[in-house]
Amino acid sequence: MKLKEGFVLRTICGENVISGEGTANINFSKLISLNDTAAFLYRKAKDIEFTPETLAGFLTEEYEVDDETALKDAKVLCQQWIDAGIAE
Amino acid sequence: MEKWVVSNDLFFADVVASLQEGRTVTIPVKGYSMLPFIRGGKDLVELEIPSMPLKPYDIVLFHVGTEADGKWIMHRILKVDGDNLTIQGDGVTRGREHVKVSQVKSRAKTILRAGKTPVDPYTKKQLTLVKIWNFFRPLRPFILKAYRMLPWNQGWLKENR
C-alpha cells in the first residue's frame, strides 16, 4: 500500500495533523490527528510502497517494542489510514 | 467523526500563517450570525488574503479585542470610510462592529455547501440577494425565525445547538 497524494502532515495548534493540501488550497475543515508514533510512521512511509510489516520494522528500529506487538499495532494503523482515506 | 475543539487563537494563527504562504484556506464556520448566506456548522468557507482596498459587501475575517483576550469574527462590510470599517453579520439584527482595516486578516473567497456548486459571494446575483436582504433589515428577526422553523433547516440547526 501507499499514502495518497494531496495530504500533508503538519503541526496545527501543537498537534500532528494530516490536512488535505493542493498547491492552491489547504483544507482545515477535515483534519486527521496523529499521535507522535503515527506521525513518525507517516513520515517514514511517505513516498514508499509499504506493508504493515514495513511499518512494524520502522517501529522496532525506533522504539523498544517486540516484533509481535509492533506488527499488531502497524496492522491497526494501516487499516485506520485506509478508513480515513489517506492510504490505498 | 470526532470533533476536535481547539482554541480560536491558535487555530486562526495557523490559518493566517497558511494564507501568508500564498494559498487559500478552507475552514468550517460556527454560529448563525451570517445566516442565511453562511450556515454555521454546515457550510465551509474558503478564505484568501484580502485584496485592498476592502469594499462594502466583502465578507471578512477580523480580530477584535486584545491579543490575549480577543475574538475572531466573520461578518460583512457595510461601510468603508478610509481606514475605518463598519461591519455587520447578515444574520444579526442590531449589533455592528467598528474596526480598522488592519484588524482584517482575511476575506471569504468561496462558500462551500455540501453537494452544491461552490458559491462566489460577490457575483451580481449574490450581491443582489444581499441588497434585498439588507433592504428588509427591520424584518430580519421575523424572517430568521421563520427560516429556523423550516423543516429542512431543523436537522442541522439541532445538530449544532
pLDDT in tens, B94-146: 889 999 999 999 999 999 987 888 999 999 999 999 999 999 999 999 998 89
H, E, C per residue of chain B: CCCCCCCHHHHHHHHHHHHHCCCEEEEECCCCCCCCCCCCCCCEEEEECCCCCCCCCCEEEEEEECCCCEEEEEEEEEEEECCEEEEECCCCCCCCEEEEHHHEEEEEEEEECCCCCCECCCCHHHHHHHHHHHHCHHHHHHHHHHHHHCHHHHHHHHHCC
pLDDT at A12: 79
A65 pLDDT more than 70: yes
Amino acid type, A60: T
Q: Distance between the two ends of chain A, CA-based, in angstroms?
A: 6
Tell if the CB–CB gap between A27 and B26 is shorter than 8 Å.
yes
Domains in chain A, number: 1
Give the CA-trace dihedral at B19, A28, B26, B33, to 10 degrees. -110
Q: What is the pLDDT of residue B5?
A: 67
| Mean pLDDT across chain B | 89
Domain that holds residue A34: 7-83
> Does some domain include residue A42?
yes
- Helices A36-45 and A52-62, packing angle to 10 deg: 120
| Residue predicted with more confidence, B93 or B75 | B75
Q: What is the mean pLDDT of residues A25-30?
A: 83
The CATH architecture of the domain made up of B8-159 is: Ribbon (2.10)
Disruptive mutation site among B7, B25, B43, B113 for chain A (greatest number of A CBs within 10 Å): B25
Cα B59 from Cα B106, distance rounded (Å): 9
Q: Cβ atoms within 10 A of the Cβ of B101, count?
A: 16
Residue A1, domain member (yes or no): no
Minimal Cβ distance to A29: which of B14, B24, B26: B26
User: Region B15-37: what's the mean pLDDT?
Assistant: 90
- What residues of A are in contact with residue B15 (Cβ under 8 Å)? 28
Establish if A88 belongs to a structural domain. no
d(CA B127, CA B129): 5
- pLDDT of residue A32 exceeding 60, the answer is yes
Q: With 60 as the cut, is the pLDDT of residue B87 above it?
A: yes
Percentage of chain B beyond pLDDT 70 is 94
Q: Is A14 on the interface with B (CB under 8 A)?
A: yes
Task: Say which residues have a Cβ less than 8 Å from residue B82's Cβ, sequence separation at least 6.
Answer: none
Model pLDDT, residue B3: 65
Verify whether the Cβ–Cβ distance A25 to B28 is below 8 Å.
no
Which residue would you say has higher pLDDT here, B115 or B45? Answer: B45
Give the bridge partners for B106, in sequence order. Answer: B61
Question: What is the model's pLDDT at position B161?
Answer: 61
Residue B4 has pLDDT above 60, yes or no: yes
* Locus of grid cell 509481535: A68
Does residue A2 form part of some domain? no
Q: Cell digits for A48?
A: 514508499
> Is A49 near chain B, with CB under 8 Å?
no
The answer, as to whether pTM is greater than 0.90, is no
